Amino acid sequence: MVKLPIYMDNHATTPLDPRVLEAMMPYLTDQFGNAASRNHKFGWEAEQAVESARKEIAALIGADPREIVFTSGATESDNLAVKGVAWMYREKGDHIITCVTEHKAILDTCKHLEKEGFRVTFLPVDNKGFVNLDDIRNAITDKTILISIMTANNEVGVVQDIKAIGKLARERGVIFHTDAVQAVGKIPFNVNEMNVDIASLSAHKLYGPKGVGALYVRRRNPRVLLTPIIDGGGHERGMRSGTLNVPGIVGFAKATQIARENLANESAEMFRLREKLRATLERELDEVYINGDLQKRLPGNLNMSFAYVEGESLLMGINDIAVSSGSACTSASLEPSYILKALGVGEDLAHTSIRFGIGRFNTEEEVDYVAARVIEVVRRLRELSPLYEMAKEGIDLKSVHWATEA
Amino acid sequence: MAYSDKVIDHYNNPRNVGALPKEDPNVGTGLVGAPECGDVMKLQIKVNESGVIEEAKFKTFGCGSAIASSSLATEWVKGKTLTEALAIKNTDIVKELSLPPVKIHCSVLAEDAIKAAVSDWKKKHTEK
């Protein structure tokens, strides 16, 4: 028997690994010192813990410990990267290149900078979810100071060719930032092999605690400087003021260590489970569509549209399973996913999409249960769907004149 | 978002799901909404000689609240005259199902579906 409810939304967040909590406990209790206290044992212990965590996190991505800046999470890391570069290099140029499927932490930061007078190019993606290298090349001008392209997408799991983008940026002397939040700990990621200058990381996406993240900032070839976005005591080599979240950082490091030691096995297992889920759904249901490229993709990600079945009603039917939908009804905005839209997925199919995020703690039994429940509910809702009925009658739904505004 | 018990009940046990023959002169069919908007409702009524709706069927593509609104609409129109059916307001549906503000459009669509079905029936009968 599987234990309900099942959590299969590991792109949103991941459960805290019990080993991580264990590592954090001393720093939530007796070892509560401020890492900036230089005059007593409490402070020294905290500083020691932070520095060893810095080494551990640097090791996962092939960085030098001095290149790791701790933050409160991915949103702050993205803000610091983009605003930090923009403000530092403003005299050199005022142009930023990014892409339409980035996280809102990048897109909205770029829009903020546009209001300050920066120019931003939001590149499109193809129907598989990839940004075109030639588009980036053609967008670069002598005023371009930053390219920011995410490594793996949070909705469709598509993994960009970061190495090639980094190489291009390097050749043109442009700083390259990547939001690597979904990728790090799931697929190999090395800042030197991939020509990355700045990278955003988050602890809670790899079984660590919420409220802690990091920014990798390259020190050599090229040396990247950032203008801080928070003013204060000058912590983190002046790049990020604020008392360090010592227990969070310790937990982040433990999570990183576990991820590094198990990466290959874990990735293969998530891939196996994902493929089983996909194959079962595709075998048992007609008119299901994968959103985003299936090959260059995070191993645990499956984003699928179930034609003629609205996403929120499907979620309601599988309410003992935690997954996400790109349907408008699940968001406050009443707009379907902008990411699916950017991939050219029609709004009709965007409304029927479900994102499954398989993680470390999901079992094969859970995957079998999820597949069976989804199949059952999709079939039931299709019996209820006028669109399915019309499609089966041979009516081309695109040719129907819909009274869109009643 | 938490659903009301009544929405959950209609979602789990939708009333009057199905289809009536579209070509039947006594059947009025209303199809409202659009796939791009995430909601499509098809509501059908069968009207007897004394002008009373004796049967109603629906199929809905949409969220749980949309399914519940149309299911409720079929329950309510049955046994009513066309004039009585047209008097059903979306606000009545909102109240009955305790729909939150973001789901009011579902009730509006259900009201529109009733109107569309009645007007389809009327069209068939004026053409004759």
Q: Which residues are CB-contacts of B63 (< 8 A; sequence separation ≥ 6)?
A: A310, A312, A313, A316, A327, A329, B38, B39, B103, B106
How close does chain A come to B33, measured CA to CA in Å?
A: 6
Q: Give how many domains chain B has, as a whole number.
A: 1
CATH (domain of B31): 3.90.1010.10
When CB atoms are compared, the residue of A336, A384, A402 closest to B17 is A384
- The confidence band for A260, taking pLDDT boundaries of 50, 70 and 90, is very high
The C-alpha atoms of residue A19 and residue A116 are separated, in whole angstroms, by: 45
When CB atoms are compared, the residue of A308, A383, A386 closest to B31 is A386
Tokens of A166: 């980094």
User: How many CB atoms sit inside 10 A of residue A337's CB?
Assistant: 27
Q: Which amino acid is at A312?
A: E
Instruction: Identify whether A289 is part of a domain.
Output: yes
Q: How would you classify the pairing of strands A119-123 and A95-99?
A: parallel
Say which residue the tokens 């190495």 belong to: A163
Q: What is the pLDDT of residues A355-397, one digit of tens each?
A: 999 999 999 999 999 999 999 999 999 999 999 999 999 988 8
Average pLDDT over residues A184-204: 98
* Cα angle value A347/A383/B89 (rounded, 5°): 70
Instruction: Identify whether A89 is part of a domain.
Output: yes
| A292 phi and psi angles, rounded to 5 deg | 90, 160
The three-state secondary structure class of B16 is: coil
Query: What is residue A332's predicted lDDT score, i.e. its pLDDT?
Result: 57
Cα first-last separation, chain B = 49
Q: Which amino acid is at A154?
A: N
Per the annotation, the verdict on B37 as an active-site residue is yes
Q: How would you classify the pairing of strands A175-179 and A198-202?
A: parallel
Q: Do B67 and A346 touch (CB under 8 A)?
A: no
**Domain end (from A258, A285, A310):** A258
Q: Do A386 and B42 touch (CB under 8 A)?
A: yes
How close does chain A come to B79, measured CA to CA in Å?
A: 23
A85 and A209 share one domain: yes
Q: Are A131 and A143 in contact (CB under 8 A)?
A: no
The C-alpha atoms of residue B11 and residue B5 are separated, in whole angstroms, by: 10
Q: Are A313 and A388 in contact (CB under 8 A)?
A: no
In A126-139, which positions are buried (b, 16+ CB within 10 angstroms) versus exposed (e)? eebbbbeeeebeeb
A243 and A300 share one domain: no
Which of A14-23, A123-132, A192-201, A231-240 comes out lowest in average pLDDT? A231-240
| A337/B contact by beta carbon, under 8 A | no
Q: CA distances (Å), A120 to each of A97, A116, A145, A208, A262, in order?
A: 6, 11, 11, 33, 39
CATH (domain of A216): 3.40.640.10
When CB atoms are compared, the residue of A317, A328, A404 closest to B34 is A404
The complex's ipTM works out to 0.93
Q: Which amino acid is at A107?
A: L
A229 and A311 share one domain: no
% residues pLDDT > 70 (chain B): 98
Given a cut of 60, whether residue A406 has pLDDT beyond it is no
Instruction: Identify whether A38 is part of a domain.
Output: yes
Optimal mutation site among A313, A349, A388, interface B, most CBs of chain B within 10 A: A313
Q: Do A310 and B102 touch (CB under 8 A)?
A: no
What residues make up the domain containing A280?
A: 6-11+263-393
Q: Are A316 and A389 in contact (CB under 8 A)?
A: no
Q: Give how many domains chain A has, as a whole number.
A: 2
- A84 compared with A335, residue with greater pLDDT: A84
A237 and A270 share one domain: no
User: Chain B partners of A336 at a C-beta cutoff of 8 Å?
Assistant: 38
- Output the average pLDDT for chain A: 95
Average pLDDT over residues B59-68: 95
Tell me whether residue A13 is exposed, middle or buried, using C-beta atoms within 10 angstroms of its C-beta: 0 to 12, 13 to 18, 19 or more.
middle
- Selecting among B43, B72, B106, B118, the annotated active-site residue is B106
E strand residue ranges, chain B: 27-34, 39-47, 53-61
- The confidence band for B113, taking pLDDT boundaries of 50, 70 and 90, is very high
The C-alpha atoms of residue A129 and residue A127 are separated, in whole angstroms, by: 5
Given a cut of 60, whether residue A279 has pLDDT beyond it is yes
Which residues of B touch chain A, with CB atoms under 8 Å apart?
A: 3, 8, 11, 14, 17, 19, 31-42, 59-64, 66-67, 102, 108-109, 112
Q: Are A369 and A306 in contact (CB under 8 A)?
A: no
| A1/B contact by beta carbon, under 8 A | no
Q: Which amino acid is at A82?
A: V
Given a cut of 50, whether residue A405 has pLDDT beyond it is no
Instruction: Identify whether B128 is part of a domain.
Output: no
When CB atoms are compared, the residue of A316, A336, A406 closest to B108 is A406
Q: Are A263 and A188 in contact (CB under 8 A)?
A: yes
Show which of residues 387-406 on chain A sit within 8 Å of chain B, judged by CB atoms. 387-389, 397, 402-404, 406
